[in-house]
Amino acid sequence: MTTAPASGTADAPSATPKLKTSAMIASFADPGQKTAPAPFGHALAAAAETDPRIVGLTADLGKYTDMHVFQKAHPERFFQMGMAEQLLFGAAAGMAETGLVPFASTYSVFAARRAYDFLCLDIAEPGLNVNIVGGLPGLTTGYGPSHQATEDIAIFRGMPGLTIVDPCDSIDIEHAVPQLAAAAGPSYLRLLRGNVPTVLDEYDYTFQLGKAAILRGGADVVFVSSGLMTMRALQAAEELAVHKIDVAVVHTPTIKPFDAETVLAEIDTPRLAFTLENHTVVGGLFETVASAATRRGLGKRVVPIGLPDEFLDAGALPTLHDRYGLSRSSIVARVLSELG
Amino acid sequence: MTSTTPTTAQHAYGSGPDRGIGFEERVRRVQDAAYRIRHHVLTMGEVQGQGYVGQGLGVADILAAAYADQLRYRADDPHWEERDRFLLSIGHYAIGHYAALAEAGIVPVAELETYGSDDSRLPMSGMASYTPGMEISGGSLGHGLGVAVGMALGLRLQGRDERVFNLLSDGELDEGSTWEAAMGAHHHQLGRLLALVDVNALQADGKTETVLRTEPLLDKWTAFGWFAQRVDGNDVSALLRAYDEAEVHSELTGRPSVILCDTRIGRGVPLLENREKAHFMRIEESEWQLCRDELTAGHEGANR
C-alpha cells in the first residue's frame, strides 16, 4: 500500500494511488498557472522602505507566513516573539502605542482562537494600527481542524473596528499591504503565501480597501466572492460560458467594512445569486451578504457555496476542495444543478 | 469631621529620583504621598460604598514611590513623549491608580468623587480611553506585561530610553500570558522594563496558595532571567532601595527587573487590615469616618 497515512482511508488498495496530504502549506495554484513568490513579504519590505513606522513580528512562523522576506530586508525592524501568540499581540499593541505600525503574523487558527482576547482588548479597543496577518485561512491545508481556520471571519466579524481583508491573489496582497499600513485602525489579513497565483492582472481592477468590484459582467448568474474563491469563481464562469451560461463575478476582498452598496446593486437583479467563500457558511461572506440584503428589504434568494458547518477532514487539498465544494468543477456542477 | 482628606503635595513630581535631598527625605516624601493616596482611596470607596479599597490601600506605597519619586512625567501633559510609562494591568486597582494620579496632579482631586459614576472619567476598571495618565486598558488579567514588552521594544527601536513600569498582581501570575511576556522581556533584554508585583496573597476565590500556588516567586522570576528582588511592599525605605537598585540595573539592553512586593490588604487602616480578607470588601456607611481617623492617627503616630 503506497497511500500515506494522512490521506488514507479504510478502503482496500485501489488501482489509482491516492493523493497525499503533502506539506503543511499546500499550493492551490493550478499546474502551469502564473504565480508570484511570497507577495506579502515583498510588499511589506517595499512598504517599509517608504514608511519608517512599519515593523514586523511573528510567533515562530516567519518562514511560513513569508515574514522572513521582510526580516531579510529589514532585520533591525523584525521581532521574533516565539511561539507565544498572546505576547505577539500584546507586544504589537505596545509597539503601536509608541507610534510604530506593526504587522504581526501567525496562523489564522492561532490569531482567531488562541489569542482573541489580546487582539480584542490590546489592539482593537484602543483602535491601534496593528495589522494581523493570518496564514492558512479557511481550507488551505490538509492537516485537519488544528490548522484549518474555517471560522476565522465568523470569529472576527463581531470585533468592533477590525477591518477584515480576504485577498484573491498576489496582486490583491501587493496592493492591500500599503493600504493597510496607511489606514488608521487594526486589520486582519487572510494571508496567501508561498507561490501565490496571479489572476487579477487580466482584469480592469485594482484593490481598494473597503471596496467591492465587478470583475466581469454576466446576464444569467451573479457570483459574489472573496479570497481564493474569486479565482475559482472566474474559472467556473469561463467553464459555464461553454454551457451558454453568462456569469458575472463580483469580488469583495474587504469583508468588513462591507461594501453593501456595490454588492447589493448586483444581487438585486433577476439573476441567480451565489456567494463563494473559503470559509464556513456560518458567519462569513454569505451571512454578511444575507444580512445586508435583509436590511435593505431584498427578498432575494442567495445560494451559499462555502465550507460546511463541520470540522473538516484531513487529506490532500484538491481532494478536500472537491469534497467540500470549493473546486472549479464542483462550483460548475452546483450552478448547473441550481439552474435545473 | 475629625479628619478630612489632606492637601496635595508640596513638591513638584515627575523629574525622577531627587537624590539631592537625601534618602531619608525621599522616604518622608513618599510616605506623605502614600498617606494622601490612601485618603483618596477612602474618598472613592465611600462614593461606591464598597469596592477594591483593600487593594488600593495595600499598593499605596508602591504607587507613591513610583509617582512621587521614580517616574518622569509632566502632570499637565500626560502624553509627553519622553514620559516613563506606568501600565496598570490590574484594572480593578484603578481606585489606587486614580488616587496616585490625583497625588501626581494628573487628575484633579475634586474629580475623585465621580469614581465609578455614569459619565465619569474614572470608571471602576481602569481604561486608557477614559482617564488621562492611564496608558492601557487593564481588567482582562495577564495583558499588561506583554504590552509593556512591546512598548519597551518600540521605544528602544526609536532610540529612546524612557522606562516602562508594569504593576501587576500575584493573581495575574496564574495567567500563562504573563510568563510568555516574562520570557519575551528576557529574550529581548529589555533592561528599561520594571515589573512590580503586588503580592497580597489573595485572589477572587481565596488565598493565592489555595487557588493556584505561584511560589517560589523569587526563584521563578530569577529562573526566567530577570533581576528579581523581594521586599515588604509597605515598607517605603525597603521599596525605595529596591527601586533604586532596579534603576542601577536598567541598561537599555540588559536584564529586565522585577520587584516582588509583599503587601497587606487594607494597609494603614487597622479596621480593614484585620477584617476577614475579601477580594471585594464591603464597608458600612458608619465605618468610613472611622477608617479615615485610623489612617490619620497611624500616619501622625509614625511621624511623631
Which of B141, B160, B177 to mutate to probe the A interface, most A CBs <10 Å?
B177
- Chain-chain contact of B129 with A125 (C-beta, under 8 angstroms): yes
Asked if pLDDT for residue A4 goes beyond 90, the answer is: no
Q: Which residues of A touch B142 (CB under 8 A)?
A: 86
Do you find a cis peptide bond into A253, omega within 30 degrees of 0?
Answer: no
Integer Cα distance of B85 and A97 in angstroms: 11
- Is A133 part of a structural domain of the chain? yes
pLDDT-derived band at A13, boundaries 50, 70, 90: low
- Chain-chain contact of A90 with B183 (C-beta, under 8 angstroms): no
Integer Cα distance of B95 and B122 in angstroms: 8
pLDDT of residue A285: 98
What average pLDDT does the segment B9-36 reach? 92
- Is A90 part of a structural domain of the chain? yes
Say yes or no: A149 and A236 in one domain.
Answer: no
The string of DSSP letters for A115-128 reads SHHHIIIIIITTT-
Integer Cα distance of B199 and B221 in angstroms: 14
Q: Which residues of B touch A122 (CB under 8 A)?
A: 136, 143, 146-147
Domain termination site, one of A197, A226, A259 = A197
What average pLDDT does the segment A175-188 reach? 98
Say yes or no: A153 and A250 in one domain.
Answer: no
Domain termination site, one of A176, A197, A218 = A197
Integer Cα distance of A293 and A161 in angstroms: 22
Closest C-alpha to A222, from A295, A293, A319: A293
Say yes or no: A294 and A160 in one domain.
Answer: no
- Chain-chain contact of B183 with A93 (C-beta, under 8 angstroms): no
Using the Cβ of A126 and the Cβ atoms of chain B, whether some distance falls under 8 Å is answered with yes
Say yes or no: A165 and A226 in one domain.
Answer: no
pLDDT of residue B6: 67
Q: Which of B145, B153, B177 sits opposite A79 (nearest CB)?
A: B153
Q: How far is B91 from chain A (nearest CA, A)?
A: 12
What average pLDDT does the segment B11-31 reach? 92
Q: Give the total residue count for chain B.
A: 304
CATH of the domain at A123: 3.40.50.970
- Domain of A169 in residue numbering reads as 35-197
CA dihedral sign of residues B184, B189, B194, B200: positive
User: What share of chain B in percent tops pLDDT 90?
Assistant: 85
- Is B249 part of a structural domain of the chain? yes
- Is B1 part of a structural domain of the chain? no
Asked if pLDDT for residue A5 goes beyond 60, the answer is: no
- Chain-chain contact of A84 with B184 (C-beta, under 8 angstroms): yes
pLDDT-derived band at A1, boundaries 50, 70, 90: very low
C-alpha cell at A318: 484538491
Separate counts of helices (H) and strands (E) for chain A: 12, 14
pLDDT of residue B4: 55
The string of DSSP letters for B189-229 reads TBTTEEEEEEE-SEETTEEHHHH-----HHHHHHHTT-EEE
- Is A6 part of a structural domain of the chain? no
- Is A76 part of a structural domain of the chain? yes
- Chain-chain contact of A86 with B158 (C-beta, under 8 angstroms): no
Please write the tens of the pLDDT for every residue from B187-238. Answer: 999 999 999 999 998 888 888 899 999 999 999 999 999 999 999 999 999 9
Q: Under DSSP, is residue B134 helix (H, G, I), strand (E, B) or coil? A: coil
- Chain-chain contact of A94 with B149 (C-beta, under 8 angstroms): yes
Q: Which of B135, B153, B184 sits opposite A82 (nearest CB)?
A: B184
Say yes or no: A110 and A62 in one domain.
Answer: yes
Domain termination site, one of A142, A175, A197 = A197
pLDDT-derived band at B303, boundaries 50, 70, 90: confident
**Between helices B287-303 and B23-48, what is the axis angle to 10°?**
170
| 8-state DSSP, A203 | S
Asked if pLDDT for residue A89 goes beyond 50, the answer is: yes
pLDDT of residue A173: 98
8 A C-beta contact, residue A222 and residue A273: yes
Say yes or no: A251 and A183 in one domain.
Answer: no
CATH of the domain at B209: 3.40.50.970
Count of domains observed in chain A: 2
Asked if pLDDT for residue A134 goes beyond 80, the answer is: yes
pLDDT of residue B11: 72
**In chain B, residues 134-163 whose CB comes closer than 8 Å to chain A:** 135-137, 139-140, 142-143, 145-155, 157-158, 160
- Residues B220-252 as b or e (16 or more Cβ within 10 Å = b): bbeebebbbbbbebbbbebbbebbbebeeebee
- Is A159 part of a structural domain of the chain? yes
Say yes or no: A229 and A332 in one domain.
Answer: yes
User: What share of chain A in percent tops pLDDT 90?
Assistant: 91
- Chain-chain contact of B146 with A76 (C-beta, under 8 angstroms): no
Say yes or no: A157 and A294 in one domain.
Answer: no
- Chain-chain contact of B145 with A90 (C-beta, under 8 angstroms): yes
Q: Which of B151, B152, B177 sits opposite A86 (nearest CB)?
A: B177
Please write the tens of the pLDDT for every residue from A201-243. Answer: 999 999 999 999 999 999 999 999 999 999 999 999 999 999 9
Count of domains observed in chain B: 1
Q: Which residues of B touch A92 (CB under 8 A)?
A: 150
Using the Cβ of A132 and the Cβ atoms of chain B, whether some distance falls under 8 Å is answered with no
Closest C-alpha to A227, from A338, A150, A162, A294: A150
CATH of the domain at A251: 3.40.50.920
Q: Which residue is closest to A97 within chain B, CA to CA? A: B151
- Is A20 part of a structural domain of the chain? no
pLDDT-derived band at B10, boundaries 50, 70, 90: low
Say yes or no: A105 and A238 in one domain.
Answer: no
**In chain B, residues 161-190 whose CB comes closer than 8 Å to chain A:** 176-177, 180-181, 183-184, 187-188
Say yes or no: A232 and A313 in one domain.
Answer: yes
Which of A86, A103, A114, A125 to mutate to probe the B interface, most B CBs <10 Å?
A86
Closest C-alpha to A287, from A270, A268, A309, A269: A309
Say yes or no: A75 and A171 in one domain.
Answer: yes
- Is A1 part of a structural domain of the chain? no
Decide which of B207 and A309 is more confident: A309
Asked if pLDDT for residue A12 goes beyond 90, the answer is: no
- Is A19 part of a structural domain of the chain? no
pLDDT-derived band at A14, boundaries 50, 70, 90: low
Least confident of B8-17, B273-282, B288-297: B273-282
Using the Cβ of B233 and the Cβ atoms of chain A, whether some distance falls under 8 Å is answered with no
- Domain of B289 in residue numbering reads as 21-303
Please write the tens of the pLDDT for every residue from B79-123. Answer: 999 999 999 999 999 999 999 999 999 999 999 999 999 999 999
- Is B9 part of a structural domain of the chain? no
Asked if pLDDT for residue A71 goes beyond 90, the answer is: yes
Please write the tens of the pLDDT for every residue from B145-165. Answer: 999 999 999 999 999 999 999
Q: Which residues of B touch A95 (CB under 8 A)?
A: 150-151, 153-154, 157
- Is B8 part of a structural domain of the chain? no
Mean pLDDT, chain A, whole residue set: 94
- Is B288 part of a structural domain of the chain? yes
Mean pLDDT, chain B, whole residue set: 94
Q: Which of B147, B152, B187 sits opposite A93 (nearest CB)?
A: B147
